[in-house]
Amino acid sequence: MIKVGIMGASGYTGLELVRYLVGHPAVSIGFATSESNAGRCLSEVHPAVPPLPLVAMDSAPLVEVDVVFLCLPHAASAQKAAESLSKGVRVVDLSADFRLKDAAVYQEWYGLEHPVPHLLGEAVYGLVEFARPQLCEARLVANPGCYPTSILLGLQPLLAADAAVGTIIADSKSGVSGAGRTPKLHTHFVEVVDNFSPYSIGRSHRHLPEIEQQMRCWNQDSPQLIFSPHLLPVPRGILSTIYVPLNNGWNEVRLYELYQEKYEAERFVKVLEPGKLPSLAHVNYTNKCVMGLTVAGGTAVITSAIDNLGKGAAGQAMQNMNVMFGVEETTGLRRN
């Protein structure tokens, strides 16, 4: 049995992670923390989860677990990661703290000095499909952001094939759970319902440097990205429509072959046949990424859908754990 702890269990990511973990046959939950709800039971916080006792972070029995999942705000996460590693506990961090390799870039985008920059080098960027070798031995895994997961899985084959010849555009649409559970005016039901809003478009969203860093890992000469997030009036799900100007000779059939070759052995990435397009209904409540491929006017239009709480957060975190601990990768992840 893998003994796990969850820090920050009462947010949407934490709640979803608990739901995944309780369905995992080889996991036992050692503790779950929530500062605002310590002493209560998780099912009092949300009716659709098991009645797990919640403790304050400081009284969590860290040493008793094999791995801790951090669903904490950035900066707070980095500190808990360092503490956990020092006690021999492996870490899957669902915050942004270990995704950027360069502490200066972190400071530029997150507005504060990185608390533990010496750990940045060791952190594995846990986009599982492209990180398995490093994950086996990893002590510290940076679980990718939700938008980056949807976009990077869609871009990798084209970048690796050196097929992109100009500015790439990712027009992404996300459900509201991605904005967190703390009540804000922009997540108020009356403001969101019947509405649809772009925000932080262009090159201003914090996920941009994370995505471009990974793009350059796959292709040093990768074109720049323009990334436009939008808020959808749905509780969960991300769909990214990605535009990639292609060099010569591509059509939908050849594109499909490229993607199939890359992904056909993957259990959580599904490439639809030419002419078919994904939707949130393909992926919600699953750990899957489903993609459609269109070519028009010399441009690839990749449509990529994930559940932001599944493959975009809690599902991928548990998938990372499975690989880290040598458990069959799909264990506990086959919902539906």
Out of 181, 206, 254, 267, the residue judged to bind its own copies by CB under 8 A:
181
- Under rule CB under 8 A, which residues in 1-30 are in contact with its own copies? 12, 19, 22-23
Q: Binding of its own copies at residue 195 (CB under 8 A)?
A: yes
Out of 28, 224, 251, 330, the residue judged to bind its own copies by CB under 8 A:
224
User: Could you give the CA distance from residue 178 to residue 86 in angstroms, rounded to a whole number?
Assistant: 31
Out of 82, 105, 217, 277, the residue judged to bind its own copies by CB under 8 A:
277
Q: Binding of its own copies at residue 184 (CB under 8 A)?
A: yes
User: Could you give the CA distance from residue 146 to residue 307 in angstroms, rounded to a whole number?
Assistant: 8
- How big is the chain, counted in residues? 336
The answer to whether the CB of 143 falls within 8 A of the CB of 123 is no
164 φ/ψ angles, rounded to the nearest 5 degrees: -90, 130
User: Could you give the CA distance from residue 253 to residue 132 in angstroms, rounded to a whole number?
Assistant: 29
Q: Please, what is the Cα angle at 183 between 181 and 186, to 5 degrees?
A: 105
333 φ/ψ angles, rounded to the nearest 5 degrees: -110, 5
Chain-centre distance of CA 252, in angstroms?
28
- Residue 41 known to be catalytic: no
Per-residue contact string for residues 295-334; x = within reach of its own copies by CB under 8 A: xxxxx-x-x-------------------------------
Nearest one of 39, 36, 30, 94 to 64, comparing CA atoms: 30
The answer to whether the CB of 322 falls within 8 A of the CB of 90 is no
Q: Binding of its own copies at residue 285 (CB under 8 A)?
A: yes
Output 92 or 176, the one with its CB closest to its own copies. Answer: 176
Taking CB under 8 A as the binding criterion, the range among 76-84, 92-100, 110-118, 187-195 that sits at the site for its own copies is 187-195
- Under rule CB under 8 A, which residues in 109-148 are in contact with its own copies? none
Q: Binding of its own copies at residue 216 (CB under 8 A)?
A: no
Q: Binding of its own copies at residue 248 (CB under 8 A)?
A: no
Q: Least distance to its own copies from the beta carbon of 182, Å?
A: 9
User: Could you give the CA distance from residue 300 to residue 303 in angstroms, rounded to a whole number?
Assistant: 10
Q: Least distance to its own copies from the beta carbon of 234, Å?
A: 5
Output 37 or 79, the one with its CB closest to its own copies. Answer: 37
* Enzyme catalytic residues: 146
